[in-house]
Chains A and B, each alone.
Chain A
Amino acid sequence: MTVTGRGTGSETSTTLTEDYRKREESITLSSQPAGVDETHELLTLNIGPHHPATHGVLRLIATLEGEVVRDIKPIIGYLHTGIEKTAEDKSYWKVIPVVERMDYLSYYFNAMAFCGAVETLLGLEVPPRAQYLRVIHLELNRIMSHLVWLGTSAVDLGAISMFWYCFRERETVLDLFEMSSGQRMHTRYIQVGGVFEDIPLGFAEKLRQFLKLMPTRADQYADLLEKNQILLQRLRDTGIVDRDTLIKLGVTGPLLRAAGEPWDLRKAHPYSSYDHFDFKVPIGTVGDNYDRFRVRHAEFYESVKIIEQALDGLPEGPFITPDRKVALPPRHELATSMEALIHHFKLVTEGFRVPPGEAYYPIEAARGELGCFVRADGSAKPARVHMRDPSFVNLQALAPMVRDGYIADLIATLAMLDPVLGGIDR
């Protein structure tokens, strides 16, 4: 198989192997830790990329001295799918399902960040009902994401049953997603200008049942884990990094809040009507793994509170912008209105055009600041889409967290870091 302009492949396998060995050598552990010289016996251990404790395909090269981790290098890119490149070849509304697949546990957040950036470029007003519906789904997504985190992390720490309990509640959330959008994952619910459809009959009732259930379930998780000596000993006083270092490393989200910094974009710079809701920002004190666990666990309750308020105060009105240049006309109009038919045809074939400009739209995702940068060149396709994924930036804090700790704590710290490799590699 040859592709034009790509050469004929004349290299022999020996030069390739030599090349490979040379590049392999370039993966160096650049910083020799202080107080360690040649007399200490260091061991380089490869962890992953295929290892259940790495939560995906993360590869870690750890330098060990006995059982103590002296340095660590994450190697990433095994899940790189070129989504940012793909997005440049799709019209704006077709980008949404692609970006949703970046961080596969926070699809509503990805869609929200992208749609927010495009709406900023269009100068589009989102109707209040759509904003509230977005909040409901974003917070359900946060609960869902934290449930997956709690279940898988507990497995890493030896508590197998937590996985089933968490995934039981996650199923309920996915059922709700399926009700409102038809899909359980990668729902494409959030659209430019609003949401895909209004919530169906019976959704509110089912959601209220879940909201009533979720706090008691979260209490049960706490009962199971909080008094478990094994878990406490593995989490308390491990992986401590102070908040100044975290801020320097660009860490955001629950990891930063666990270190005592009350930084939450929902409060600091409210978007999508978050200023209408009364909720607290849980923070930790010392910033160890236990605080990280507690902060995320406390966010279950806060998310439930936000959804309750959003559901109670859900405003009447349209669920998507009435701007026909951006949003599809309602189906019934197609039978009677020529104009609606033209708009429908234009939107489905070409999509809408976005005036030239650049926008960076940050939101508070389940793992921290998720910012979407979009550059429009006036055509119907974005000229650049970039996601500042929180997992990617937060991963930089792994080395300071695990350095000079036991390798067992590395697994606990990695679990509490909550990286999603789909988001890291994009």
Chain B
Amino acid sequence: MPDATELELTAQELRDAHRESILDTEFHRGRATLVADPPQIKPVLEHLKSKGYAFLASVHGVDYYPHEPRLGVLYELLDRERVDRISVKARVHTEDPRIDSVVDLFPSADFQERETYDMFGVVFDGHPDLRRILMPEDYEGYPQRRDFPLGGEPVLFTYNEEQNYGKYV
């Protein structure tokens, strides 16, 4: 993990390279997070990749309900040479949650972006095959959002197959 100073330096370096690309930094219990401007996520990750953070360990979504912008897409980057981790966070609104896909930069993001889309409804522009991955194809609603009810999911059997409950959540 970079320390707080190193994180600030990285953030400043990114701001110099791409104007207003880093909105904030967070340093908590040894975890360094760069809060990036969603439209500039790709240049930010590209820059970090060229700096050595070349392994994208994980992409996942977080719902920050009730805080706005509600949805967060988190990228856990790893520098395998220095064994150093940094995470990048991009916050998007629920109205039109869109962010650029980074599959061409990091092919490992493929399934994980699909999972984030499936669970939170974040649309990854430029993803080669953005479909639901874990939930059924005809499922409607984004189950990992905080306002999605827990439990009470009716099971479709032959007798009620026409009802398709998921549609109205």
Cβ of A120 < 8 Å from any Cβ of B?
yes
Instruction: Determine whether A360 belongs to the interface, using a CB cutoff of 8 Å to chain B.
Output: yes
Shortest distance in angstroms between A400's beta carbon and chain B's nearest beta carbon?
10
Say yes or no: B76 contacts A1, CB within 8 Å.
no
A371 & B57 in contact (Cβ 8 Å cutoff): yes
- A40 sits at the interface (CB 8 A): no
Residue pair A358, B33 in contact (C-beta under 8 Å):
yes
**Are A77 and B133 in touch, CB under 8 angstroms?**
yes
Within 8 A of A (CB), among B72-109: 74, 76, 80, 83, 85, 87, 106-109
Please tell me if the beta carbons of B154 and A263 are within 8 angstroms of each other in the complex: no
Task: Check: B10 CB closer than 8 A to any chain A CB.
Answer: no
Distance between A384 CB and nearest chain B CB, rounded to angstroms: 5
Task: Please give me the residue from chain B that is nearest to A263 by CB atom.
Answer: B80
A6 at the interface (CB under 8 A from B): yes
Question: How far does the Cβ of A275 sit from chain B's closest Cβ, in whole Å?
Answer: 13
Known contacts being A19-B138, A76-B134, is A121 close to B129, with CB within 8 Å? no
Is A85 in contact with chain B by the CB < 8 A criterion?
yes
| Complex alpha-carbon distance, A123 and B167, angstroms | 43
Q: Which residues of A contact B74 (CB under 8 A)?
A: 373
* Measured CA separation A26–B63 after assembly (Å): 28
The total of Cβ contacts below 8 Å across the A-B interface reads 137
Residues of A within 8 A of B58 (CB): 360, 371, 373, 386, 388, 393
Q: How many B residues touch A, CB cutoff 8 Å?
A: 55
> Please, what's the 1-or-0 string for B99-124, where 1 marks a CB less than 8 Å from any CB in chain A?
00000001111111001000100000
Find chain B residues with CB under 8 A from A6 CB. Answer: 154, 165, 168-169
Is A360 a contact of B163 with CB atoms below 8 Å? no
How many residues belonging to A are interface residues under a CB distance threshold of 8 Å?
56
How far is A8 from B85 in the complex, measured between Cα atoms in Å? 49
Tell me whether chain B's interface is mostly helix, strand or loop, or mixed: loop
Contact of B162 with A12 in the complex, beta carbons under 8 Å: yes
**A383 CB to closest chain B CB, in angstroms?**
8
**Least Cβ–Cβ distance between B67 and chain A, in angstroms:** 10
Interface stretch (choices B11-19, B24-32, B37-45): B24-32
Report A70-94 CB contacts with B as 1/0, cut-off 8 Å: 0000001100101011101100000
Please determine whether A120 and B30 come into contact, CB atoms closer than 8 angstroms: yes
In contact, B108 and A396 (Cβ under 8 angstroms)? yes
* In-complex Cβ contact of A121 among B29, B54, B80, B107 (8 A): B29
Q: Is A296 an interface residue (CB 8 A)?
A: no
Of A19, A30, A82, most B-chain CB atoms within 10 Å: A82
With A5-B169, A120-B31, A268-B83 given, can you name 8 additional A-B contacts, CB distance below 8 Å?
A23-B138, A27-B131, A248-B106, A268-B80, A360-B31, A360-B58, A360-B87, A388-B76
Can you list 18 A-B contacts with CB-CB less than 8 angstroms, sorted by A residue number?
A6-B165, A6-B168, A7-B168, A9-B160, A9-B163, A77-B132, A77-B133, A77-B136, A80-B135, A248-B107, A250-B57, A251-B108, A268-B83, A357-B28, A388-B58, A396-B108, A396-B111, A426-B134
Q: Which 10 A-B pairs have the closest CB atoms?
A: A250-B108, A9-B163, A7-B168, A388-B58, A77-B134, A80-B134, A386-B60, A23-B137, A357-B28, A6-B168
